[in-house]
Amino acid sequence: MNRFAVAGWVVCAVCFQFLQGAAWGAERSVADSLRVEKSEKGKKNQARIDETLSMVLWEPYAPEQQVDEFKRYISEKYQKNITVSVKYVFSPNEFYDGVRAGRVDIISPSHNLIQDSRFDFIKKGLVIPLDQNRLGNLRGVEQRFLNNTFVRHNEKLYGVPFATGLYSLLYRKSAFSSPPESWNILWDPRYRKRYAISREFYESNLYVTALASGIPPNQMMEVQELNTQGFRDKLKELLHNALYWQGVPHEADVHDAVLTTAWGFSHSVHPDRNQEWLFAFPREGVTMWTDYLLVSRAVKRSPFAKTLAYEWLNFVISPQFQRAVTINRLNCYSAVPAAYDVAPAIRISEKEKRYFEEKSVYWPVLNTRNRNGLKLLYDQSAAGTAGQAN
């Protein structure tokens, strides 16, 4: 065989080996692609979201740790993957806007907003009555927070209590040799720009001024009682000499203050055990509130959406959640007595509890006339200050 013939055979052999390798490589490439595709498909299946629970709440009513715990619980109980969407708000109008647009499953309005004529969540059918049989932890809730006109209509229950507390007066321990005894300390010239109050809840500041003026609690929402020159001057002085916090008072907001209002008892600003901020007991009394969780009609979109809403409500009124969030984090009063039996729980003193029971009055549900009148009165007094109400 001549060298050309041999060369031809060599070339043929090399080509055959090349084509055989290429074919094997192509086969391996296809197999790898199939495996990748299958893996990606599996990941997509694992990541599939079965439902989203959407909530609009006061801050910080759905801490990340508790949300993660809830998601694990749902996954184990129902073998479903969910997401939890939480939007924290400063204005009650955002509860109404979200529910009316059908974007929200759960909201947390205060007691005086639920049947407020601006919103009227119940009568307008924006929220659903609760099936109490689906809320096993309801049996542990104090009945006074369930059997009231705020969350009951036509004998049906529409909400469960998340937290309750006071628009209270706290003082910095290091700045006082004895506790303040009256709301009128906020008008003491020594404390100008050294006390802090809520920026957005104008009603609460009106009520403080009313209490400090000696107006009876059952009249402090009446425009004719507050619309005097003396009251206007006192309110204007309060607002012009104040520091302000938004949402809840944080240490940064009250760094230069020695007095502040807050939504609870001692620890409401500084949560550690040093008790730098302590609860005062104004002799005039104090106003109180309860925030409720209500379920929007939006959950009617699917049975599982409604199930998720019920599960979250039941989760929130458990002693464990109430201890970790309502008591220890917010330092508010829990409507679930058993939450105080689960250690460790920050306990309010017997004196604080007795004061809460004897000297507190609920924020009233305002009619249109009083609300508009109080808002106008406040805006005129707050003009030019950081406390101008929105």
Helix axes 229-240, 368-382, angle to 10 degrees: 60
Q: How far apart are CA 241 and CA 341, in angstroms?
A: 42
**Distance between CA atoms of residues 339 and 140, nearest Å:** 9
Tokens coding 258: 């020695």
Q: Residue 314 burial (CB < 10 Å; 0-12/13-18/19+)?
A: middle
Asked whether residue 95 falls in the same domain as residue 229, the answer is: no
282 shares a domain with 310: no
Q: Determine the pLDDT at residue 349.
A: 82
Let me know if residue 138 belongs to a domain.
yes
pLDDT at residue 13 in the model: 38
Whether 38 maps to a domain, the answer reads no
- Is 252 found in the same domain as 140? no
Shared domain for 267 and 321, answered yes or no, is no
CATH of the domain at 89: 3.40.190.10
Q: For position 36, what pLDDT does the model report? A: 42
With respect to residue 98, please indicate whether it lies within any of the assigned structural domains. yes
How far is C-alpha 234 from the geometric centre of its chain's CA atoms?
A: 32
- Determine, yes or no, domain membership for 16: no
State whether 375 and 269 are in the same domain. Answer: yes
Is residue 249 located within the same domain as residue 374? yes
Structure tokens at 53: 């629970």
Summary mean pLDDT of the chain: 87
Tokens of 296: 């929007």
| Same domain, yes or no: 238 and 370 | yes
158 and 244 housed in the same domain: no
For the stretch 130-178, pLDDT in tens is: 999 999 999 999 999 999 999 999 999 999 999 999 999 999 999 999 9
Q: Judge whether 24 lies within some domain.
A: no
The domain tally of the chain equals 2
> Are residues 211 and 169 part of one domain?
yes
Pair (239, 373) in one structural domain? yes
Is residue 154, in this structure, part of any structural domain at all?
yes
* pLDDT given for residue 271 in this prediction: 56
Helix or strand run (H / E) with residue 113: none
Q: Is residue 36 part of a domain?
A: no
Token pair belonging to 222: 């009446």
Which tokens hold the place of 28?
């391996």
Judgement on whether residues 254 and 300 belong to the same structural domain of the protein: no
Q: According to the model, what pLDDT value does residue 384 have? A: 81
Residues 247 and 123 in one domain: no
Helix-then-strand count for the chain, H and E: 10, 12
- Using 70 as the pLDDT threshold, list the residues of the chain that sit under it: 1-47, 266-274, 343-346, 386-390
8 A C-beta contact, residue 265 and residue 347: no
142 domain-assigned:
yes
Q: Which domain holds residue 313?
A: 51-162+290-349
